[in-house]
Amino acid sequence: MSDSGNPQDPSANPYGPPPPSAQPAPPPYGQPAPPPYGQPAPPPYGQQPYGQQPPYGQPYGTPVPAYDYAHWGKRVGGYLLDSLFTLLVSLPAYGLFFAGMAVGSKDMETYTDSAGVSHTTGEWDNAGTPLVILGAVLFLLPLAFFIWNTCLRQGRTGYSLGKGIVGIRLIGERDGQPIGGGMSFVRYLLHFLDSLACYLGWLWPLWDAKRQTFADKILSSVVVNQPKSQVR
């Protein structure tokens, strides 16, 4: 029976299927398919697209941290509070030392002769000696407080007592973590650079983009706004 009476499919190719050479070859197993004609090829796995490369020194795929840098006023407030706490710890030492000096020298008098030479009369009262010695020993308290507050506490948590009260934290710029007790002590020593040239380094956070002093720039540390309640 003839098929000449059956209608032909209008979408059918009258010349038959295209030869195999005209069809795109499937990609190898595990390889992505090529993009459509005119579309840019995707970047290799793990690499950033052009124009989105991370900064120099940062590995590809690592997000650049963004910080809320603490302004100069807060940093000054934290510093003044730490200085106040150090002074309070020092008061017993000063009190006992000067009380001992007053007791021991109560019978002593100093005068200046006609030639301008000073002379002291009388004898030292031994009752003041224990107070002077105890006061001198208590001068170790401010040193111990400094080691605990500025080096250990701030180095391990990022907060000194003053920084914790005003809600700022000292961290490393690269990883966002506390810099450690040793580096916190080194940072304290490096602050002498901030005192050079009329204390310019202490004022540098006023206009610096990262609010850093010279010591912060050397150690790559930053001070950020981060109340203790936000630390997990």
User: Encoding tokens for residue 39?
Assistant: 């579309």
Q: Give 49's DSSP letter.
A: P
**How does strand 109-112 pair with strand 118-121?**
antiparallel
The one-letter amino acid code at 75 reads R
Q: Walk along the chain (232 residues) and give the pLDDT tens digit of each residue.
A: 445 555 555 555 566 655 555 555 666 666 666 666 656 665 555 555 544 455 444 555 555 568 999 999 999 999 999 999 999 999 999 999 999 888 888 877 887 877 778 777 778 878 889 989 999 999 999 999 999 999 999 999 999 999 999 999 999 999 999 999 999 999 999 999 999 989 999 999 999 999 999 999 999 999 999 998 887 7
**pLDDT number for residue 50:** 47
| Digit-coded pLDDT (tens) for 84-126 | 999 999 999 999 999 988 888 887 788 787 777 877 777 887 8
- Other beta carbons within 10 Å of 148: 14
**Distance in angstroms (rounded) separating the CA atoms of residues 66 and 56:** 16
Strands (E), 64-175: 109-112, 118-121, 168-172
Residue spans of the domains in the chain: they are: 72-109+127-230
What is the number of residues in the chain? 232
Looking at residue 150, its pLDDT comes to 96
pLDDT at 114: 73
pLDDT of 124: 82
Predicted local confidence at residue 51, as pLDDT: 47
